[in-house]
Structure 1
Amino acid sequence: MPTGVAIRDPRQHLFDAAERVLLAAGPNALTSRAVTAEADVAKGVLHRHFADFDAFLAELVEDRTRRVEADRAALVAAAGTGEVVGNLTAAITALFSPVAVAMVALVTSRDGLRARLRAAGLPGLPVLTQGTAMIAEYLEAERAAGRVAPGASADTLALMLVGSAHMHFTSGDGGDATLREIVATTVTLTG
């Protein structure tokens, strides 16, 4: 990008570039040089807005977790409407977008990033942790509405669903029918 051309939202511009690099080449290719090259900006732009590259990555992951938190209210509001399996399948499909799956690989591959995220109050695997909480809250609302068995553990079901979905999406079989079967089987385990 030529000098003197204003970037409307430089932080988001860099986040978008980082997601493209992450999707195209994986977490090992994600460097400040790769991000700024993809964003078509000088390397100094990244360092003007972030203390260092790990701070940039931490904020990138935090941005993604805020998106999951924003989806939580809509999913919980859907309790009592539609079909439980359909609502869960749609929410899990959205949760496991290609970028989110790549974020999990990024977090697990960088010790410094995990340390920063924990220091920022994001324990576990960010995105998946928030997704699990979102699904558990939805299942609790459905249990209160009588659409999930009264004795079902929403927390346990949410862990089962997120763990199974993670295996499903990382195996390359992102098919909707298989995911729907996983969700239906898990929900019917509640009796």
Structure 2
Amino acid sequence: MYFLAYGFDWTMQVFLLASLFSHLSGFTCLTSPNQVTAETGQSIVLPVNIRHSSSVFIWYRNYENETNKIFEYDTNREVKRVAGQQYTGREDILPNISLKIRNVDINYTGHYIMVSNSSPRDCATIMVNIHERNLTKRVAEQVTLKEADQKKHLMETEVTNQKLVVDKENTSKTAQGKLEKLNTCLHKLDEELENIFENLEKVE
């Protein structure tokens, strides 16, 4: 194994070791691994290319065995998605069988394998590398979020103030309308009283 330690980068070492393990375990997914790199907190999609008709697709983490199964997707079952022991609650199988992982952290670094039950079967191997998010970038994002929250608060306050102004104006308009109606009624009442007095004077 000397050539593994010194002749290849670590991702290829993992791939070769996983391939050897898979072969000894009765599995033979020996495709060259694709690379997916992300920062902690991001979501990633592990793409696959399905070329043959199949009803069962299985995703594994690091090794192709039952203990390392993430998901089994069976199109013939009523409940198509069945979680395995490596399922963490952040994984999901997309309609094209690609694997989506949300909010990744360092623990999601590793070797991912997808296999189908078709003959010949489809399989894919993907190396995932997760890096800690840059501290400066995280601070900048936190500042941006804080500023956004402050702007949102100011906007909400302004909206509330505008509503109060509108309500006050509406209230004023309503009161003004009622006052105008009252003044009209009083004017009519004055006219009626004047007519009554005039009639009384004529009677006298």
If the TM-score is normalised by the length of the shorter chain, which range does it land in?
Answer: under 0.3
Name the one with the larger strand percent.
2
Structure whose alpha-carbon radius of gyration is higher: 2
Which structure shows the bigger proportion of residues in helix conformation?
1
TM-score between both structures, scaled by the size of structure 2: 0.23
